[in-house]
Amino acid sequence: MRQLYFDYAASTPVRDEVWEAMVPFFRRHYGNPSSLHSFGQEARSAVEKARQQVASALNCQSEEIFFTSGTSESDNWAIFGAARACQNRGKHLITSTIEHEAVLEAFRQLEKEGFQVTYLHPDKYGTIDPKKLMDAINSQTTLVSIMYANNEVGTIQSLPTIASMVGAIRRRRGREGTPLYLHTDAASGKYLPWTVDKLGVDLMSLGPHKYYGPKGVGILYVRKGVPINQFIYGGSQEKNQRAGTENVPAIVGAGLATKLMAKEKSRESKKLEKLQKKLTSLLVKEIKDIRLTGHPSQRVPDIVSLVIKGVEGEALVLHLNKMGMAVSSGSACTSTDLAPSHVLKAMGLKPELIHGSLRVSLGKETKTEDLTKLVTALSKTVKKLRDLAPKVEV
């Protein structure tokens, strides 16, 4: 039986072209990029080629691209690096309650260091109001971090609007005023525009394993002129900002995956929008007492999220897995935590209902007939489990 994968928001398979580009750097071109001999310079050339591929995809300069161990590190570096670099000018920061834990935990740590953090709450669709964000900015605010799209419910934030407002405040403050910068975790925005000049962000984190690249590598864009403290100490790698021998195969894969994603995202997005519409239609038609979560239209095309009355999301995941279908009950990074989703909680859903949450995410190999199989299996499983769960209102 062909297994069906519906968890592309958690991770994706490395595509063939990316794998083929990576393989030579495991055994044939194995030099250290910091070495001066030909082996090392081959590796250095590959790293810089990947950096340029990412820069071209983001429409920025290659010196504004840094490679890390993953999106979580990119988030941490952006937040800690920028906040600490500016702390002598201001110690007020802003983020939202629906951010990825890599962002939220970084801000919680900064609170322990004496920073003040304002956490903005979303509306029922998971949208952050730009006006409320602007109202939260004060004379001591130095950093705002708002995700591009939510990894659990798929809601897209008004990032260009927020960036425009932040930029206007920064210009009014002038060079002698308190600096103000905008960071975004764009890991779930792979099908959205990436060009940083149009987005207007100062720092942006990406995770190539979300778009058919390898795990163990992340990308951080830092606009030229934005102050950011060194994150890992040791050697002179990554322009003296992040020490450690570069993961050359992963970086090569990250560069090509980013290039290919930028080239293909428009076409892939249209395909996924059709599949998303088909899936939501089937779910509403075939399963009673469900609620789709996230914004109904301002959402990424690859994520469908819902809560189902009278069942546990974890039970659904396990039952569907036995039937050869992989789905998620929320973010992969918190899937072993039985606490209710902080995203759905912030959106106002009751805890007992949140436990019935499910996320279905689509990708390159998803076919229309796969959706029918999934909904049929899900419908049967829900009927089996409903009598075992407490009754709650949707």
Is residue 86 among the annotated active site residues?
A: no
8-41 core/surface letters (b: 16 or more CB in 10 A; e: else): bbbebebbeebbebbeebeeebebebeeeeeebe
d(CA 189, CA 210): 9
d(CA 9, CA 12): 8
DSSP annotation of 84 reads H
* Per-residue H/E/C for 145-185: ECCCECCCCCEECCHHHHHHHHHHHHHHHCCCCCCCEEEEE
Q: Which one from 287, 292, 333, 394 is the annotated catalytic residue?
A: 333
* Nearest alpha carbon to residue 77 among 230, 254, 239, 247: 230
Find out whether 256 and 16 touch, Cβ atoms under 8 Å: no
Q: Please list the active-site residues.
A: 333
